[in-house]
Structure 1
Amino acid sequence: MRNMNEEVVLGVDAGGTHTRCLLVGLDGTIRGRGRAGGANQRSSADPAVSFINAVSASLREAGPVSVAAAVFGVAGAGAAGLATTEQTVLRAWRTLGLPGRPEVGDDIVVAFAAGTAEPSGAVLIAGTGAVAATIRDGRIERRCDGYGWLLGDEGSAVWLGIAGLRAALAALDGRGRATVLTERLAAALHVPAGSRQALIGAAYSMLPAELGSLAPRVCAAAEEGDAAAVEIVSTAASRLLESLAAVLAPPVQTPVVLAGSVLREGPVAERVRTALRERYGVRPVTAAPGEYGAAALALRRTGRSAQLHAQLLAQARYAPSPPAGGR
């Protein structure tokens, strides 16, 4: 049995490619961090193992502690996937021998809480997946997209990666314009640049969430002026803005939080930020890594203040940035 000493809260943010855990003392001091592979039920290889690895790593760093509250924000854990995600998280929780029951939900409220301590506003997420939502009193009021790589997630890293592959194949078979993506994406997948079949085989051998790793190559090509890549990036920004517009009702309630690797920096983020300023007069807030939002919500569950929530987010300025192409 673990020798339980200091009380802490635990926050987990799980996307399609990465799972991150943050342990925080009730005074807001960070006690431990952990990370593992993706934990989206629809697109990741083994979510339970990712939860176990991320949480256990943070517990090892923290030393003997007692978990007073825990919040898991998991991509793909909306209404359609919540029951399965809860079962997976609980299985991992019991395997680790932890007491009580963690709070499990999707990553939307967690992402919003990673940007602000305010109870209401809007959030636009574009990491491995993509979704827009308005939040009222800490709960989702309206949402758009977040339907997964097959049916939606328009403007996400996976969407960018797939669009880049389509452009590369169109160039190779003569349907589309010439693009540096034929060479760049082939190099990323370690296949010959001129082989359509090799490119197709490599793409189909990947998990859907892994296709998001190609997004930085597409964005880099756009920044260099490649016409096909510029069109993809511009379309991604337009799709994300359309999702946000579908949930916003004038006057736009602030803050508007931007979350996920695609909206942290780069050409899609620049286009979205410019449009928000021009259309709505809004200067969006960039979210901290999602585990900070989950831990902040866990602190709030123990009765801690909005001020402590804000102080925790301020500490995220010194945290390493998550890798591009994921969450």
Structure 2
Amino acid sequence: MMKTTLAVDAGGTSSRAVLVDASGRRLGSGRAGGGNPTSSGVDSAATQIALAARAALDQARTTSSIPPLPSGSPVVITQAGQVSDAYRRALDAHLVPLGLGPVVIEPDLLGMYGSGSASPDGVVLVAGTGSVAGRIRDRLVVREVGGAGWLLGDGGSGFWIARRVIRAVAADLDGIGPRTGLTPLLSQAVGFTPDPSSPGDADHRRSPVLDTLIRSVNDGPPIAIARLAPLAFQAADDDVARSILDAAVDRLAVLVERVLAPDSDHGESTLVVGGSVLVDGLLPSVPSAAERLTSAAAGARLVPVADGLVGAAALGIRMLGGDVDDATLSRLREDLAAGATR
């Protein structure tokens, strides 16, 4: 009977799943909501992962012309954060009835790295809402720098950038900082629309835009401001925004340097980078970003990846005894891209 494995990249915003066989052939894929138990809660995360898994199984049964799937297909989930016993129980409760299990949970860094390289050794840097760098040896994360969360660090991350955008705009509105093109962008983002019939700003104790900004920032959890990071990319030609983005790249380069610091002769040839803030934001917005990051990694080849799903699938294929090389990864990426457009 055909050997299959289900791979899941469980993020804070969305969860993607793919069912593959031991050769790396994509049989079905699915998507659902956030599957991180820290940000979504244990029960909600497990439910969303199960929804993505069911969608992948349903697609496999209807479009791949495959025989009935074996009961007990292993599941590999890559995600950030701590894994509790309650979360594992919730996953079993949702996935075992689908004929899936056992469940193996791996760090998201491992999934992200595996999406870009089949080599057992290398370096990975992720910048999304948070930021973290990892060193990979024998397909294990042997060192990690960053990832301490918005309160303690996450330099160069979406939260880090957004916080500086907000501070720069607040200083502009209060007249204690330089004028910046970020101000009208942020005003629109927080829903401030000037009322032509209202008195001018001179009749107010403080800028009404700043009042709106203060309420908007304090109405939700602090981490929610990370959604404002793309404003810096939109205003990349603005002096203030450019200084924020340059500083973000510097912070990320430090993570790479430090994750390699214990071994000056590391010999790693690949730096896999992922996360929307880095791949979709900093790399296209800061012309020197790629060069600065590869320099921090002692000249390693930079490989951007969209997410950790291909790497999770590679882990599952190896669990089935299959071989995964760069050609297999390339085929998986193409198959997943094709599946996403259906």
TM-score by length of 1: 0.84
SS at match of 1:42: helix
Report the residue type matching 1:177 in the other structure.
Answer: P
Pick the aligned partner of 1:282 from 300, 303, 307.
Answer: 300
Once the two structures are TM-superposed, the CA of residue 234 in structure 1 deviates from its matched residue by: 0.8
Partners of 1:209 and 1:43 in 2: how far apart?
10
| Structure 1 equivalent of residue 16 of structure 2 | 20
Report the residue type matching 1:41 in the other structure.
Answer: P
When structure 1 is superposed on structure 2, of 26-35 and 209-218 the one drifting more is 209-218
| Structure 1 equivalent of residue 282 of structure 2 | 267
| Structure 1 equivalent of residue 138 of structure 2 | 137
Answer yes or no: is the 8 Å Cα contact 1:90–1:101 preserved in 2.
Answer: no
Report the residue type matching 2:247 in the other structure.
Answer: T
Aligned-residue identity in percent: 35
Answer yes or no: is the 8 Å Cα contact 1:257–1:286 preserved in 2.
Answer: yes
Answer yes or no: is the 8 Å Cα contact 1:13–1:73 preserved in 2.
Answer: yes
| Structure 2 equivalent of residue 108 of structure 1 | 109
Counterparts in 2 of 1:281 and 1:124: CA distance versus 1, 3 Å: same
Once the two structures are TM-superposed, the CA of residue 246 in structure 1 deviates from its matched residue by: 0.5
Any residues of structure 2 matched to 1:1-327 within 5 Å, and which?
A: 6-44=2-40, 46-63=44-61, 65-66=69-70, 68-76=73-81, 81-82=82-83, 84=84, 87-96=86-95, 97=97, 98-192=99-193, 194-207=208-221, 210-222=224-236, 225-248=237-260, 249-252=263-266, 253-268=268-283, 270-278=287-295, 280-307=298-325, 310-317=327-334, 319-320=336-337
1:173-226 residue CA offsets vs partner (Å, 9 max, x unmatched):
22322222222123223334752232232233445554333222211211xx11
Counterparts in 2 of 1:289 and 1:65: CA distance versus 1, 3 Å: farther
Matched residues, number: 308
Once the two structures are TM-superposed, the CA of residue 24 in structure 1 deviates from its matched residue by: 1.3
Report the residue type matching 2:215 in the other structure.
Answer: G
1:234-258 residue CA offsets vs partner (Å, 9 max, x unmatched):
1111111111111113334121111
Report the residue type matching 1:91 in the other structure.
Answer: A
Gaps of 5+ in 1: 322-327
Partners of 2:174 and 2:104 in 1: how far apart?
50
When structure 1 is superposed on structure 2, of 93-102 and 120-129 the one drifting more is 93-102
Partners of 1:31 and 1:181 in 2: how far apart?
45
Answer yes or no: is the 8 Å Cα contact 1:288–1:313 preserved in 2.
Answer: no
Report the residue type matching 2:69 in the other structure.
Answer: V
Q: Whose radius of gyration is greater, 1 or 2?
A: 2
Gaps of 5+ in 2: 62-67, 195-207
Partners of 1:170 and 1:110 in 2: how far apart?
40
TM-score by length of 2: 0.81
Partners of 1:201 and 1:181 in 2: how far apart?
18
Partners of 2:80 and 2:309 in 1: how far apart?
13
